[in-house]
Amino acid sequence: MAWEWVAPVATGAAGAVGVGFTWLAGAQSRIHAERMVEHNQLAEERARLLKERRDAYFAFLHWIDLVSKRAEYVTQGDQDKLQQFDEQWPWGKRIDWTIDVLIGVQTFGSERVFQLAEDWMDAHDAELRDVTAELRKQLRAVVRDELQGLVPQRDLGRNRR
């Protein structure tokens, strides 16, 4: 029996197996690259949403400080400071800012912060100064915990309404 045919067949089979594994490695490489691109896109989107959340929270806390300061001037009867405040922040500008701030918190904020914000506004409208001060502290604590990553942010960017 002649064995001359074994070497060429083995070489051909090894070549075919090599081509198959090369194709498989290429396919896996493409799949891996697609997953990496998708992962990077998700990470970028999450970073953008986190920045939006941070900006919305900072704007809201700043708004609370200004609204509280104006309420303090009204309570104290300090007409000079109240007039200066109203000149710097006219009623129409305050309304526009209020709408922007609330939309930001509603759109990008967590359920907890949104609920505290609504509670704060209700207490402020009812002129409950002690309650607003306590809710303000709670808001700052929750915002700090969320932005420092101490609270999971599963609902990042979800609109609740």
Angle between helices 111-125 and 91-108 (to 10 degrees): 150
Query: Is there a domain that residue 132 lies in?
Result: yes
Query: Is there a domain that residue 113 lies in?
Result: yes
For residue 55, pLDDT over 90 is answered with: yes
Query: Is there a domain that residue 38 lies in?
Result: no
pLDDT of residue 161: 46
C-alpha distance from residue 80 to each of 84, 85, 86, 90, 94 (Å) = 6, 9, 10, 15, 19
For residue 158, pLDDT over 60 is answered with: no
Q: What is the mean pLDDT of residues 44-51?
A: 91
Q: What is the mean pLDDT of residues 141-158?
A: 74
For residue 151, pLDDT over 80 is answered with: no
Lowest-confidence pick of 23-27, 42-46, 114-118: 23-27
Domain coverage including residue 69 = 51-147
Tell me which residue of 139, 144, 137, 100 sits closest to 118, measured CA to CA.
139
Q: Average pLDDT over the chain, rounded to whole? A: 88
The total number of structural domains in the chain stands at 1
For residue 29, pLDDT over 90 is answered with: no
pLDDT, tens only, 93-122: 999 999 999 999 999 999 999 999 999 999
pLDDT, tens only, 3-13: 888 888 888 88
Query: Is there a domain that residue 139 lies in?
Result: yes
Query: Is there a domain that residue 26 lies in?
Result: no
pTM of the model: 0.71
Query: Is there a domain that residue 94 lies in?
Result: yes
